[in-house]
Amino acid sequence: MTVAGAVDDDLWSAIGDPTRRRLLDLLLLEEAGTATSLSQQLPVTRQAVAKHLGVLDRVGLVHGTPAGREKRYRVDDAQLARAVAQLASVGSAWDARLRRIKRIAEAIQVARQD
Amino acid sequence: MTVAGAVDDDLWSAIGDPTRRRLLDLLLLEEAGTATSLSQQLPVTRQAVAKHLGVLDRVGLVHGTPAGREKRYRVDDAQLARAVAQLASVGSAWDARLRRIKRIAEAIQVARQD
DNA sequence: TCAATACGCAACCACTGGTTGCATGAAATT
DNA sequence: AATTTCATGCAACCAGTGGTTGCGTATTGA
């Protein structure tokens, strides 16, 4: 099994952006949020957040429902769980390869220094 | 502890690119490689690979040493282990939050469908 | 009714992943 | 020794994207 499958690429690129990660963070904390409410807790404009919510919505990690004059976004738990699983999968694959080359011992020690 | 710390962003952006992930993959498999040798196993040009190796080198995930007319790159095991650890950390943080909202049960089942 | 607020669209800028083209330097061949 | 080959590096260029500002529109509430 190859670590970097083409299927996961959109998911990765969605999760790969720091602003989008923080967005998911906020949505997990607050259960729901609009572009403007979220933008107030981030160092970017409302429009930037709106674009990000757009790509997250397109990938399915988030779902937005119009509520009057505002559009409320929520995390799609199943999709995020799926994403987390893929994260873990890539990580463990690399980990396994590092371990297989038997240089993992010192590597872990150095990695624990931060 | 916040999931998306500013410190990790360069590491994430390095790992976030699909081509760079595949590059790391290849380097883990073959122990070492040059821009040209790696580009032959990827659907991108040698120059693109060279640029990617440049950013991976700058972040420290990879290290290139000149050997005659070619420049041989190897993975930095410690750094990659560190990166994998951060991957896992973000994943488990999200996982914990999903779990804490107690909707995790069905989410996992749906996620297992692929 | 009218002001405030939340959204969407469009134009614009900077950066980045990708390309092609060319120049340079080391290796190998004759 | 001279030449050809091969790997690298640099520069220009293009497309996509994260970010901004500006404006128009619709819903809410005074």
CB contact (8 A) between residue A88 and residue B90:
no
User: Around A57, how many Cα atoms within 13 Å sit in the side-chain half-sphere?
Assistant: 15
The answer to whether the Cα torsion of A54, A55, A60, A62 is positive or negative is: negative
Q: The domain spanning residue A91 has which CATH number?
A: 1.10.10.10
The CA distances from residue B40 to A18, A80, B34, B83, in Å, are: 31, 35, 10, 26
CB contact (8 A) between residue B28 and residue A81:
no
Overall number of domains in chain B: 1
Residues of B whose CB is below 8 A from A77? 98, 101, 103-104, 106-107
Task: State which residues form the domain around B20.
Answer: 3-113
Could you say which of A2, A91, A110 has the minimum Cβ distance to residue B78?
A110
Q: Mind listing the pLDDT tens digit for each residue in A60-106?
A: 999 999 999 999 999 999 999 988 888 888 889 998 888 876 555 55
Tens digit of pLDDT at every position of chain B (114 positions): 555 555 577 888 899 899 999 999 999 999 999 999 999 999 999 999 999 999 999 999 999 999 999 999 999 999 999 899 888 888 899 998 888 765 555 555 666 655
Token representation of residue A59: 């990938």
Strand partners, B89: none
**d(CA B23, nearest CA chain A) in Å:** 9
> What's the CA gap between A80 and A57, in Å, rounded?
12
